[in-house]
Structure 1
C-alpha cells in the first residue's frame, strides 16, 4: 500500500509511479488520438462540414449521457472502495484479536508453561501469515521450528491452510483444558477469540471470491468506449484539431476511474494500492512475541 502526504499537491501532479493509470492507458490513449485525428481530417478536409451541420447536434446526446455515466462511475468507485475498506477493517480486527488472544493466554498460562507459550507465540502470527498467502492464492511457506513443535509437520499444503492452523490452535487450547491447566470459563473466553479468526477469514474470502457482477462491469466498459468514440464527431466541428487532446483527456479520466475501481475492489491482491497484509502479519508476530515472551 502506498503511503503519502495528502497535503503535498505539487508532488502528486508531477509524479508518475507504477500504479499510475497513465502508464496502463498509454496505448489506448494513442489509439483514441489517432482515431480522433482521422475523424477530424475527414470532417474538415474531405466532407468539409460546417457549424450548421447536423452532426454538431450529437453534443445533446453527450450532455444527456454524461449524467448517466457519472452516476455509474460514482456507484462503481464507491462499491470498490467499500470492499477495500471492509478488507482493511477485517485485517484490523485480526490484528486486535491476535493481541487479545495473546494477552489472555499470557494471563492464563504461567511462566512455567514455556512449551505452550512458545507454541502460541508462533502459531498466532502464523495464522495471519497463512491467511495472507491464502488470500494471495500463492503457496504458503512456513518458517517454523519443526523440531521444537513436531505437530506442525502435519500441515497439508493441499488443504485449506488457515483452517488447519485454526484447528491446531483450538486443539492445543482443548488439550490445556483436559489437562486442567485452564478452567471451563477460560475455555469459553478463548473459544470466542479463536472463533473470531475464522469469522474474519470467511469475510475476507467473501470479498476475494465475489467480484463485481460481470454484466455490470462489461456494460460500463462498453458505455465508456462508445461514449468516447462518438465524441470526435461533434467536438471536431467546434474545436477543430484541438478536439484530439480533449477527447484523449476525457477518455483518460473515465477509463482511469474504471481502472482504479478494478484495482481496489480486490484489496488482497499484489497491486501497490492493495492492503499490506505481509506487513500487518509481521506486526502481529512482533506484538505477540512481546506479550508472550
Structure 2
C-alpha cells in the first residue's frame, strides 16, 4: 500500500507508482493507435464510411460511468471492511494481552505463551490471506508440541485460537485465572475469531464474475467504437480525446479489480506485513520488552 503526503499538483500529474498507468498502458496504446488509424482513414472501413453520431456514446457513457461507480463502490466496501477487521484484530489483541498481564495471580510462563499465540494467530492469518507457506514464521511463537499439532490444521488462525483457549485453561488450573475473569477473556478471543472469519469471507467471496465480464466488454467496445463517433466532428484531435476517455475508463476498471482483493501485494492493497508486524511489536512492548524496532509504516515518500 502507498500512503504519501499529497504532492504538488504538477508532480501529481506525473506520478507513476500506484497510478495503474503501467498496467493499462498496452490496451491504452492499442486504442490510441486504432483512433489514429480511424482519423487517417476519415472513418472509412473497407471503403465504407462508418457514420456514428455522439448520441449513442453519450447514453452509453452515462450508463457505463454509473456501472463503473457501482463496481468501484462495491470493491471499496470490501477494501474498507478488510481494513476495519484488521483494526479489530489490533484492538482485541491489545485488550486481551493487557488483561492477561494484569491478572491478580500471574503464571508468567502461561501468560507470555498466551501472548505469543495471539501474535501467531495474526501472522497465520496474514499467511493464509496471501496464500503463503512460511512455517518458520510461526514456529517461534509456540511450543514444539503446539507447532506439531498446527501442521495438520487447515484453518491455522482458528486452530491457534484453540491453542490460546487451552492456555487460558492452563492459567485457570494454575490458579492465576478465576471463574469470573474467564468470560471477559473468552469474549476477546471470540472477537478475534469473528475478525478472522470476516477476513476469510472477503478472501473467499469475490464479486460475481458476471459484473467483471459485462463491464470489461462494454468498456472495450465503447473505446473501440468511439473514434468513429468523434472523427467527423473533431478530426485530428480524435486520438487525443479517445486516449483521455479510454484512460479514465480503463483506470477505473483496473482500480476496481485491484482493491476487490484487498489482501494482495499490489501497490493499492492493504499493507498486511506492516499491520501484522505492528501488532506483534505492540504486544511485545506491553509485556515489557525493550529495544524494539519502530513499527513499520506503509508510507512511501518517493514518487516514481
CA RMSD of aligned residues (A): 2.2
SS of match in other structure, 2:24: helix
- Cα distance change, pair 246–203 in 1 and its aligned pair in 2 (3 A): same
Cross-structure match for 1:35: 34
Q: What residue number does 2:215 align with?
A: 220
Which segment is superposed worse, 116-125 or 256-265?
116-125
Counterparts in 2 of 1:209 and 1:222: CA distance versus 1, 3 Å: same
Task: State whether structure 2 residue 243 is matched by structure 1 residue 244.
Answer: no
Residue 51 of structure 2, aligned match among 47, 51, 55: 55
> What is the alpha-carbon distance in structure 2 between the residues aligned to residue 117 and residue 206 of structure 1?
31
Shift of residue 286, structure 1, vs aligned partner: 1.3
- The CA deviation at 1:158 is 5.7
Which of 193, 202, 206 aligns to 1:198? It is 193
Return 91-100 or 169-178, whichever deviates more: 169-178
Query: Residue 43 of structure 1: SS of its match in structure 2?
Result: coil
Query: CA 1:191–1:44 in structure 2 vs 1: closer, same or farther (change >3 Å)?
Result: closer
User: Shift in Å at residue 177 of structure 1?
Assistant: 2.0
Counterpart CA distance in 2 for 1:3 and 1:10 is 18
Among candidates 105, 116, 134, match of residue 122 of structure 1: 116
Q: Are positions 1:5 and 2:10 aligned together? A: no
Once the two structures are overlaid, the 10-residue window that deviates more, 2-11 or 283-292, is 2-11
Map of 1:152 onto structure 2: 146
- 1:22 corresponds to: 21
Which region of structure 1 is more displaced relative to structure 2, 166-175 or 4-13? 4-13
- 2:125 is the counterpart of 1:131: yes
Decide whether the 8 Å contact of 2:120 with 2:141 is kept in 1.
Answer: no
> Would you say the 8 A contact 1:140–1:157 is kept in 2?
no
**In 1, Cα distance between the equivalents of 2:152 and 2:274?**
23
Q: Alpha-carbon deviation of 1:221?
A: 0.6
Q: Is the 8 A contact 2:219 2:249 kept in 1?
A: yes
- Deviations 1:1-56 (CA, angstroms, capped at 9, x unpaired): 11111364333212211x3222111111221122222222332688596xxxx824
Equivalent residue pairs, number:
286
Structure in which a larger fraction of residues adopt helix: 1
The superposition leaves residues 85-136 of structure 1 with CA deviations (integer Å, 9 ceiling, x where unpaired) of: 100000001000000000100111645x221122123211111111111100
TM-score calculated relative to the size of structure 2: 0.87
**1:191–1:240: structure 2 CA closer, same or farther, 3 Å change rule?**
same
**Unmatched tracts of structure 2, length 5 or more:** 289-304
SS of the residue aligned with 1:185?
coil
Which 4+ runs in 1 deviate beyond 4 A? 44-49, 144-148
Cα 1:13–1:131, aligned 2, differ >3 Å: closer, same or farther? same
Q: Identify the range of structure 1 (152-161 vs 212-221) with the bigger mean alpha-carbon deviation.
A: 152-161
Tell me if structure 2 keeps the 8 A contact 1:83–1:207.
Answer: yes
Whole-Å separation in 1 of the counterparts to 2:117 and 2:266: 28
3-state DSSP class of the match of 1:108? coil
Question: In 2, are the aligned partners of 1:36 and 1:232 still within 8 Å (CA)?
Answer: yes
Q: What corresponds to 2:230 in structure 1?
A: 235
